[in-house]
Structures are given as C-alpha cells and as structure tokens.
Amino acid sequence: MLNIAVMVSGGGTNLQALLDAEKAGGLGGGRIVCVIASKENVGALRRAEAFSVPGEVCRRTAFSCEEEYENALFAILDKYNIDLIVLAGFLSILSKRVTERYANRIINIHPALIPSFCGKGYYGLKVHEAALAAGVKVTGATVHFVNEIPDGGAIIAQKAVYIEPDDTPETLQRRVMEQAEWILLPQVVRQFCQGQIRIVDNKTYITEEKQDV
C-alpha cells in the first residue's frame, strides 16, 4: 500500500479524477492520504474534504527563504509517510532539493504533448493558447516524472486529443481534460503503485499489469 500526496493550486478536477478512481478501487492499492495546496481556499481543498482526505496548505510566500519552505514541505510529507507525490495543477516549481529527495517519486500532468508547449511559463490556459496559435491539429496531455527542469523529467504516458476548427483555449482545455488528463493520471498512478513503471536512462518502460490471484 503506497501513501500518495496530491499537490494542487486550483480547482482540482484532476484530484477529483484520482479520488474517484481510488473509490472505485482503481489506484492499484495506492491511497491518497493528504492534499497539499499552494494557497488557502482553493477548490481542490474542498474536494479533498468531501472525501475526508486531510488538506494541508504550504505557501511559499509564508516563508523567508526557499530552504524554510522546503523544510515545511518535507515535514508535511514525512508526517504522512509519503511514497508518491502527484502534482495535479500545482503551479510552483519544486527545487532540486525536493526533486532529488523524491527522485522518480514525483509525477506531474501537463496539458500538452511534451516537448511541445511546455516549460517555464506554460501553465493553465497559456498552454492551449500556444497550441492554437501554432495551428497544430493534435495536442493532448503528458504525465511525466518531475526533476528540477520544468516539464523536463522522463515521460511516462501521453494521450492525443484532436483540435477542432472552432476551438477556443477554454473549449480545448476542457476537451484535453475530459479526453486525456482525467483518464491518464489515474492510470499512471495505478501503474506506479503496482510497480509497473521502470526508468532507464531517463526513459520509462511500462511492464505488464499484475493479475490478481
């Protein structure tokens, strides 16, 4: 049984997909034991509460330096004995000290097909605005391991979504969530919890799902 922390900054629809998957027995034995928000009053904290999952707030600006913030974050992660951190719409960039302590144990969902439309500054609607501005016909979502380079860790899974001629950033964002993000993230968390993800030379390989006996 792996203990999962989900880190959030916003509405939390991806968190919701994970909570629903856990309830349906779809996280491969993993359980969400806390939700950590980057600020107070985000919608994701209310979703956690509705599922009786403890919510914590760790706000970077509440600390005088990066190291103090990291220490506070580590204290929360230690308190819940966390094995896997899932960034689900978490807007801060985690420092190397954090990504190294949890090397290959932090995953993030990004709403584009990495290496397109990713890296510093590509978050929220900006990602979809950039895809539409580039005129690409296909976009999607990517789940990847997190290292100190924004959106730069090994790719674990991707799902493509077609762009429609009359798409706006908002309609595209919604379709990418519905058709890709909410499916892909619980799937990868399940694979992680079942020990199916292997990483070699910054590339991942998914081994076959273990059958229940």
Strands ordered across the beta sheet of 138-145: 55-57, 31-37, 3-8, 84-87, 106-110, 138-145, 155-162
Closest CB to ligand GRF among 75 and 133?
133
For ligand GRF, the binding residue among 11, 26, 54, 55 (CB under 6 A) is 11
Is residue 151 near ligand GRF by the rule CB under 6 A? no
Is residue 109 near ligand GRF by the rule CB under 6 A? yes
Residue 196: CB atoms within 10 A of its CB come to 17
Alpha helices, H only, the chain: 13-23, 43-50, 66-79, 96-101, 125-134, 169-176, 182-193
Q: Give dist(CA 172, CA 152) in Å, integer.
A: 23
Is residue 89 near ligand GRF by the rule CB under 6 A? yes
For ligand GRF, the binding residue among 4, 6, 10, 156 (CB under 6 A) is 10
- Is 144 one of the annotated active-site residues of the chain? no
Nearest approach, Cβ of 119 to ligand GRF (angstroms)? 13
Is residue 153 near ligand GRF by the rule CB under 6 A? no
Q: How far is CA 183 from the centre of its chain?
A: 12
Nearest approach, Cβ of 82 to ligand GRF (angstroms)? 19
Q: Give dist(CA 51, CA 34) in Å, integer.
A: 11
Query: For residue 141, which of 164, 106, 175, 171 has the smallest C-alpha distance?
Result: 175
Closest CB to ligand GRF among 75 and 110?
110
The stretch near ligand GRF (CB under 6 A) out of 7-15, 62-70, 157-165, 191-199 is: 7-15
Tell me which residues are annotated as active site: 110
List interacting residues with ligand GRF (CB under 6 A). 10-14, 44, 88-89, 109-111, 177, 181
